[in-house]
Chains A and B, each alone.
Chain A
Amino acid sequence: GEDVEQSLFLSVREGDSSVINCTYTDSSSTYLYWYKQEPGAGLQLLTYIFSNMDMKQDQRLTVLLNKKDKHLSLRIADTQTGDSAIYFCAERAPGGYNKLIFGAGTRLAVHP
């Protein structure tokens, strides 16, 4: 079946790195996404990775994909208070249509 799981909460100190983890169950997923949601706002696409890639880096963001373990992670380097938000992992469901299956979200709290 289709299921995406994330830990619900992460607290880090400003300036440290944050690592948000996600596991998914559908090995046929071809795209995996990370979204950011700030309070009262919609979802903002941060980055995505194709399933034939192991890593993708975009400025302070690094996405790692372990297809064998169906594990996806998002690393945020030099975490800032503006990074405080809920981060959602999502996979594109198989079946030919653009159906995204979301995790419950990880709330990242950045403290001084």
Chain B
Amino acid sequence: NAGVTQTPKFQVLKTGQSMTLQCAQDMNHEYMSWYRQDPGMGLRLIHYSVGAGITDQGEVPNGYNVSRSTTEDFPLRLLSAAPSQTSVYFCASSRELGTEAFFGQGTRLTVV
């Protein structure tokens, strides 16, 4: 059972480039989320989804898009990368409201 899988693990982008961070879970969880982790700030919610076809914004959504076409996948898109988006990104999934969340290993993104 793989749990939550994120790819890539590391990425360097130039300002203005676009890319997609992939997240997949094999636990049939309805709830999936994207967080970014910056030093001294804990984790902040970017976007989340409560099921296929349903997404909503979190605390820091600007500059990011998401979609949820299947239960398994929840990709995060950066349309035009900026240095302020340099961070570690974590994807999480949960079985149901209020239960524990499973986190991926993270993607370390650097925008130069």
Contact = CB atoms under 8 A, between A and B. Distances in A.
B103 A98 contact: no
B53 interface: no
A41 B105 contact: yes
Nearest to B4: A42
Contacts of B40: 8, 104
Contact of B98 (A42, A43, A92, A103): A92
Contacts of A4: 42
A103 B42 contact: yes
A4 B90 CA distance: 19
A100 B34 CA distance: 11
Contacts of A96: 97
Contact of A42 (B42, B56, B106): B106
B31 interface: yes
Interface of A is mostly: strand
B112 interface: no
Given A48-B100, A96-B97, A98-B97, A42 B105 contact: yes
Contact of A33 (B58, B100, B106): B100
A52 to B, nearest CB: 12
Given A4-B42, A104-B42, A97 B100 contact: no
B8 to A, nearest CB: 14
B45 interface: yes
B89 to A, nearest CB: 10
Contacts of B58: 99
Contacts of A43: 43, 90, 92, 103
Chain A CB within 10 Å — which of B42, B50, B105 has the most? B42
A96 B51 CA distance: 13
Contacts of A90: 43
A7 interface: no
B97 A97 contact: yes
Contacts of A98: 31, 33, 48, 50, 94, 97-98, 101
Interface of B: 31, 33, 35, 40-45, 48, 50, 56, 58, 90, 92, 94, 97-98, 100-106
21 contacts: A30-B98, A33-B100, A41-B105, A42-B90, A42-B103, A42-B105, A45-B101, A88-B43, A90-B43, A97-B50, A97-B56, A97-B97, A98-B33, A98-B94, A98-B98, A99-B48, A99-B58, A100-B43, A100-B45, A100-B101, A104-B40
